[in-house]
Each structure stands twice: as structure tokens, then as C-alpha cells.
Amino acid sequence: MVNRQLRSTTIKRLIRKTPGGKVVTIYKPKKTGKHICGRCGQVLNMPYDQRKVRKLSKSEKIPSRPYPMLCSKCAEEVERYKAMADVTFKFKFDANFKRDLTIEKFLQKGWFKKISASK
């Protein structure tokens, strides 16, 4: 039986013939997929190949701004949405505020209840 760590399904198996005529099995880690934005599905400019990512520092792997799982455009929209909610509920200013659940998905649980109670 093969070594336990090589029986994993996250490892790619390649069967190759050596110059000497032997047939050997080569084990390689699988290439992982690209990161996409959680809201719009755009491909993020982040390193994604786990074989290379392992060698990078944390700041090279993930953006240091808030909402690293979103693209910069969507992250900005989330901040704008939060500001609009603040204006509407905290300062009782009449702004055209419409709820957008695709944005609220990335905010804390019970965020809307908390902010609408501060009226």
C-alpha cells in the first residue's frame, strides 16, 4: 500500500516512463483555482497557486484593507453603503436608503437591526 500522505485526493498522480524503461508514479500538489470577488465574481489580483503561495509573506498573500474577499470596487461600495445607513439612522438625515442584501451579506450578523434601533 502507498504511503498514507500520498493517498490524499488533493495530490495529483502522474504516471511516467523513465529513460531506463521503468514506470513510476510521480506525486505533485494540485494547482488551486483563482480567487474571485464574493459579490461580483471578478478575478482578484492575488497569488492563487498553493505551491507558490506557501513561500510568500502574509502581506503578499492578502490585501491589508478591510473586506479582502471583495474586489476594490465592491469594498468601496460596502463602505459607501455603511455610510449611507449611518446618515439615515444615526443622524436622522433624509437620504434615499435602499437595503441591498448582496452588500449586507459581508457585514456583521444583525448589523441592520443594530443600526435601525439607534433611531
Would you count residue 24 as binding Zn ion (CB under 5 A)? no
5: left (phi over 0), alpha (psi -120 to 50) or beta: alpha
For 43, 59, 76, 95, the CA distances from 21, given in Å and listed in that order, are: 43, 46, 59, 76
- What's the min distance (Å) between Cβ of 70 and Zn ion? 5
- What's the min distance (Å) between Cβ of 78 and Zn ion? 10
Segment near Zn ion (CB under 5 A), from 24-32, 48-56, 71-79, 107-115? Answer: 71-79
Q: How far is CA 71 from the centre of its chain?
A: 9
Is the C-alpha dihedral spanning 98, 100, 104, 106 positive or negative?
negative
Would you count residue 71 as binding Zn ion (CB under 5 A)? yes
The rounded distance, in Å, linking the Cα atoms of 29 and 48 is 13
- What's the min distance (Å) between Cβ of 64 and Zn ion? 18
Tell me whether residue 43 or residue 95 sits nearer to Zn ion (CB atom). 43
Would you count residue 40 as binding Zn ion (CB under 5 A)? yes
- What's the min distance (Å) between Cβ of 15 and Zn ion? 41
The residues binding Zn ion (CB under 5 A) are 37, 39-40, 42, 71, 74
